[in-house]
Amino acid sequence: MAYVTQQDLIDRFGDRELIQLTDRTNLPAATIDATVVAAKISDAEAMADSYMAKRYKLPLNPVPDVLIPIVANMARYYLYGERAETESAVTRNYKNALGWLKDVANGTVQLEAEGVASAQTAGGQIQTVAPDRVFSRDTLEGY
């Protein structure tokens, strides 16, 4: 299930940016390379799934609207690759997207989508079994 499309990226970031980031054959850049865009979208979706799989049955259907800009910002960052500057908005948005996905994985953020089932339910308590203590206040008395 696709979370974002090439058109979503065009709507958010403009076709000019996608042309500059993907056209590796024309000088000057003139067209969007759909293969490059699809690969980076796929990478971003796989990364998002790796976080959401902890709590949700995948693929999400329908895709929550809140997820679209998250995956779009990640795909944009992947398109920039080595050109993404450390202090740029592209990098900042990527880091924010990862932080949000970590919150989803930890349960701090709950996705609202029909048909989304939590993969994990509240379980019982953790129990441990260990041998009796060898050293205690009584056995060490006098040392």
State the Cα–Cα distance between residues 90 and 38, nearest whole angstrom: 18
Look at residue 124 in the predicted model and tell me its pLDDT. Answer: 63
pTM (2 decimals)?
0.76
For the chain, the structural domain boundaries read 6-106
Q: How far is CA 59 from CA 66, 120, 121, in A?
A: 15, 15, 18
- Locate 65 and state its tokens: 């609207």
pLDDT of residue 137: 79
Residues with pLDDT less than 70, the chain: 1, 113-124
pLDDT at 112: 77
Phi and psi at 114, nearest 5°, equal: -65, 135
Structure letter (DSSP) for residue 7:
H
How far apart, in Å, are the Cα atoms of 138 and each of 26, 132, 133?
82, 13, 11
pLDDT at 1: 64
**pLDDT tens profile 42-77:** 999 999 999 999 888 888 888 899 999 999 999 999
